[in-house]
Amino acid sequence: MARDAAATKARILQAAVTEFAAVGLAGGRVDRIAAAAAADKKLIYNYFTDKTTLFDAALQHALAQLVATVPIDEADLPGYAGRLFDYVIEHPHAHRLAMWRRLERPDAGPDDGRIYSEKVIAMLSGPPDRHQHPIPPVDLLVLVQAMAGAWSISPVQLLAADGSDPAAKSRLAEHRDALVTAVRRLIDPAT
């Protein structure tokens, strides 16, 4: 019974991730989530209170998947950036959900980022040599994450500025290389 409940909750969360990533909080329909999860709508409200709470849970779920698959690696930020680039292109849900949240709830509190807080706190109180880096650890992380997701939110024209297919594998590989090089230069100017 408890296992059934957990399985149902997981199905609801996955359906919520798909629905909200596609159309956002305002556009998301609990009816569609219930249908996709083969779950009763009343049960969804029973588990998640209301649509906004379900949205936050979906965002947490997607971010947890992202962080589990691509853990922040302070010792290898260029490699981390490359892996994050790959993940965001193949699994855009977490990135899209985070953008919807910033757009639709600009005044919402800091709860959506608690997935990062432990890691960030560790970085903030990290090894002393890191503190001597001209860029503070939190800024470094924010800048690296922004660069890793850059191609998924940039004006489309830039993607096709040279006239080639921006989604072509070879173009993506070039952008990934440029990203990793950029992060390497941020970390260690001698490279």
Task: Give the span between the Cα atoms of 120 and 129, in whole angstroms.
Answer: 16
Considering only the stretches 11-19, 38-46, 48-56, 139-147, report the one whose residues sit in contact with a copy of itself under the rule CB under 8 A: 139-147
Which residues contact residue 43 at a Cβ distance below 8 angstroms, ignoring those fewer than 6 apart? 8, 12
Quick one: tokens of 16? 């919520």
Of 111, 131, 165, 167, the residue at the interface with a copy of itself (CB under 8 A) is 111
Does 158 bind a copy of itself (CB under 8 A)? Our answer is yes
* Residue in this structure with the two tokens 């950036």, named with its chain if needed: 81
Cβ at position 3, least distance to a copy of itself in Å: 32
30-37 and 2-27 helices, crossing angle to 10°: 150
Q: How many residues of this chain interact with a copy of itself, rule: CB under 8 A? A: 62
Interaction of residue 189 with a copy of itself, rule CB under 8 A:
yes
Query: Do 15 and 5 meet the contact criterion of CB atoms below 8 Å apart?
Result: no
Interaction mask 77-106, a copy of itself, x per CB under 8 A = -------------------x-xxx-xxx--
CA distance 45 to 159: 41
What residues line the site for a copy of itself (CB under 8 A)? 23-24, 26-27, 63, 96, 98-100, 102-104, 108-117, 120-121, 124, 134-136, 138-143, 145-147, 149-162, 174-175, 178-179, 181-182, 185-186, 189-191
